[in-house]
Homo-oligomer: A and B are copies of this chain.
Amino acid sequence: MTAPVIGVFDSGFGGLTVLKALLRRMPGAEYAFLGDTARLPYGSKSRRTIARYAAESAQFLVERQHAEFLVIACNTASALALDAIREAVDVPVLGVIEPGAGAAAANSATRDVLVMATEATVASHAYAAACRAHGLRAVEKACPLLVPLVEEGWIDPAAHPVTAEVVRIYLRELLAEAEAAGQSPDTLVLGCTHYPLLRAIFESAVPSGMKVIDSAEATADEAARRFGGIPDCVAGSGSKIRCFATDSVEKFERLGSRFLGLPVGRVELVDLGG
């Protein structure tokens, strides 16, 4: 019996943090990761365009890489294109937003949560809606400096106090907003696939007693629950990972290893059309 192929899709390479979390739980699976780097950022594009790009990317993973399960490791595509992807392919599809909201619901006693994410994800209010469905109130904040800080590699709290300072500023503003709304948040959801690299910084910055929920980890937990029954998925002779990108293969190879925590190896360039 061959190991199943799990397809992981992102508009860039931040979704490699989700792949990293999947690998820890299902080391026996094979993985095909696609970063649609030629067409990023998705955040500034219309819902219709994003849906078309995401559906094409999903079809590449299913039809050409034989993925039997898709993880949409991209907050924007999860927020705006999950239905379009489900229509385009015939395999189960899991996004990152619902597992993040579910993990927040499992943790929160006060039922008030904070969400930090990119501008596009916050503008979609997808986390707020997913939290509401779990009976939570969410205050969301766009934190546009955090992705470039991670991509600069300024992620070590000791070597880069400036990153910790930026996180503290955003968190202070977010806590003030929650307070103004009469909320008592006890949970912070990291709603961007770049943010797990700043997890240590977030954990030192939050008030004592506040839990930090990483959507990448929550998504991998949910994927493992759905897949856990397949023996080849949880044990095997080591995972096989193939990485694809639609542009900027060099940047992907250079930065990707930091996100994956492993060398990404050779990244194949693929053309999905304009």
A interface, CB within 8 angstroms of B = 37-38, 40-41, 44, 144-145, 148-149, 151-152, 162, 165-166, 169, 247-248, 274
Contacts and interface: CB of A to CB of B under 8 A. Distances in A.
Copy count, this protein chain = 2
20 contacts: A37-B44, A38-B44, A40-B44, A41-B41, A44-B247, A44-B248, A144-B148, A144-B151, A144-B152, A145-B145, A145-B148, A145-B149, A145-B152, A148-B148, A162-B162, A162-B165, A162-B166, A162-B169, A165-B165, A274-B274
A169 B148 CA distance: 15
Contacts of A149: 145
A39 to B, nearest CB: 9
- Interchain residue pairs A-B with the least CB separation, the first 7: A144-B148, A162-B165, A145-B148, A148-B148, A162-B166, A162-B162, A145-B152
Contacts of A274: 274
Contacts of A41: 41
Nearest to A247: B44
A41 B149 CA distance: 18
A38 B149 CA distance: 25
A270 to B, nearest CB: 16
A84 B163 CA distance: 41
A189 to B, nearest CB: 21
A44 B165 CA distance: 29
A254 to B, nearest CB: 12
Pick from A145, A151, A165, A169 the residue with the most CB of B within 10 Å. A145
Contacts of A40: 44
Contacts of A37: 44
Given A41-B41, A165-B165, 18 more contacts: A37-B44, A38-B44, A40-B44, A44-B247, A44-B248, A144-B148, A144-B151, A144-B152, A145-B145, A145-B148, A145-B149, A145-B152, A148-B148, A162-B162, A162-B165, A162-B166, A162-B169, A274-B274
Nearest to A162: B165
Contacts of A38: 44
